[in-house]
Amino acid sequence: MAGLMSRFTTLFKVKANKALDRAEDPGETLDYSYQKQLEMLQKVKRGVADVVTSKKRLQLQTAKLEESIVKLDGQARQALAANREDLARTALERKTLIQGQLQGLDAQIAQLEQQQQTLIDQERRLSAKVESFRTQKEVVKAQYSAAEAQVRIGEATTGLGEEMSDVGMALSRAQDKTEQMQARASAVNELVETGAIDDLTAPAGSDLDQQIAALTAGSQVDSELAKMKAELGAGAPAGELGAGAAAAEAAPTEEKAP
Amino acid sequence: MIVRILGKGQFRLDDNQLGRLNELDNAVAAAVAAGDAGGFARAFSDLIDMVETSGTPVADSDLVTSDHVLPHVDTTLEEAREAFAGEGAIPG
């Protein structure tokens, strides 16, 4: 088996050459190449800015999901106070599921943050290289004929093409990652929205509920139910729904930490 | 020789480092072949470390082509496997 390096070098060079072929039309001047490079640099800058924005949006989404965990916990207490263990179970199952999804998202956001930092460094490096190309172009144009100048600056053009491909690959990697994460965050969000247990008299056991139940580890739910029952048994009486709701408003602080 | 680490830029290494570089690279390939995720992570990080510590970063104003290219530092075993398997018939 050949090494990873040689394999990867081949793959990358093919990619970089393709990018270069597109930029090098016959009769193209050095000034035109430079124009194209500036356009690509602008695209990279926009791409990096988009990744930063997407990451911020994801952070907001996860913050909302954190809130929904607190809310579901309160709902479970409320349901239990109203002697609706089935609903309390559903709420806790949903809470467990969202908690699990959130942990994954947090780790991915941290990874994305690293990728973002790398991208910002790469963007800065690419800017410097494009500027260096501009200087070199002016020097050779002043000293040589157009055709000769093209040859003289050949290595610089290829080197810059490599840099562009490198940044381009990093950017599409980060974009793929944000898209996957956004899809996942939206799926969890949908779960929260369609699963809101606003009506305690609604029948339990819808398709969604069953799906969630299947996905969720029962043990955590059972233990949380037992814990809540114990707390309710010891403290607040299982009275009117209104009273239960008030207790739930007051109680969740102790349950906030995941 | 010039080695590019994707995302990190280019490093200039002494030509006599090629033997060591290939040695570390073969260890990475062996871990990929064995499907050993832990071994891959270790071998790959050794390879990256070697390039970063033995090489000097190419200046931003230098426009040079690379002799060797290494994937991103956070490359997974799965991605490495794809690099070996994917893209079908690459000339050369």
Cβ neighbors of B11 (< 8 A, separation 6 or more) are B2, B3, B4, B5, B51, B52, B55, B56, B57, B58
Q: Confidence class of residue B43 from pLDDT cuts 50, 70 and 90? A: very high
Structure confidence by residue, pLDDT tens digits, A244-256: 444 444 444 444 4
Residue keyed to tokens 């260096």: A132
**At A33, which amino acid appears?**
S
Greater model confidence, A139 or A32: A139
How far apart CA A228 and CA A220 sit, in angstroms, is 12
pLDDT of residue A61: 86
Strand partners, B11: B3, B57
pLDDT of residue A201: 42
**At B9, which amino acid appears?**
G
The pTM score is 0.72
> Mean of the pLDDT values across residues B55-75?
94
Structure tokens at A45: 């800058």
CB distance from A155 to chain B under 8 Å? yes
How far apart CA B44 and CA B80 sit, in angstroms, is 10
**Cβ contact A116:A171 at 8 Å:** no
Edge-first strand order for the sheet with B9-12 is B56-57, B9-12, B2-5, B68-70
Q: Confidence class of residue A22 from pLDDT cuts 50, 70 and 90? A: low
pLDDT of residue A239: 47
Pairing of strands B9-12, B2-5: antiparallel
> Mean of the pLDDT values across residues A176-197?
76
Q: Confidence class of residue B65 from pLDDT cuts 50, 70 and 90? A: very high
Region for residue B64 given its phi and psi (left: phi exceeds 0; alpha: psi -120 to 50; beta: otherwise): beta
- CA distance to partner chain A, nearest, from residue B80 (Å): 7
What is the overall mean pLDDT for chain A?
78
Q: What is the ipTM metric for this complex?
A: 0.85
pLDDT of residue B90: 35
Q: From chain B, pick out residues whose CB is under 8 angstroms from the CB of A4.
A: 25, 28-29, 32, 44, 70-71, 80, 83-84
Q: Confidence class of residue A155 from pLDDT cuts 50, 70 and 90? A: confident
- The answer to whether residue A130 scores a pLDDT higher than 80 is yes
**Cβ contact B75:B5 at 8 Å:** no
Q: Confidence class of residue B19 from pLDDT cuts 50, 70 and 90? A: very high
CA distances from A152 to A115, A141, A146, A167 (A): 35, 10, 10, 25
CB distance from B35 to chain A under 8 Å? no
> Mean of the pLDDT values across residues A91-116?
86
Strand partners, B12: B2, B56
User: Is the Cα dihedral A153, A154, A157, A159 positive or negative?
Assistant: negative
Chain centroid offset of residue A34 CA: 34
**Cβ contact A99:A258 at 8 Å:** yes
The proportion of chain A whose per-residue pLDDT surpasses 90, expressed as a percent, equals 13
- With CB atoms and an 8 Å threshold, state whether A170 touches B7: yes
User: Which alpha helices (H) appear in chain A, and where do they start and end?
Assistant: 4-23, 30-81, 85-143, 146-152, 154-194, 207-215, 218-234, 241-250
pLDDT of residue B35: 93
CA distances from A19 to A138, B22, B78 (A): 23, 28, 26
How far apart CA A30 and CA A156 sit, in angstroms, is 11
- With CB atoms and an 8 Å threshold, state whether A4 touches B28: yes
Residue of A nearest to B72 (CA): A170
How far apart CA B70 and CA A6 sit, in angstroms, is 9
Q: From chain A, pick out residues whose CB is under 8 angstroms from the CB of B84.
A: 1, 4, 7
> Phi and psi (nearest 5°) for B51?
-65, -45
Q: Confidence class of residue A200 from pLDDT cuts 50, 70 and 90? A: very low
- With CB atoms and an 8 Å threshold, state whether B64 touches A4: no
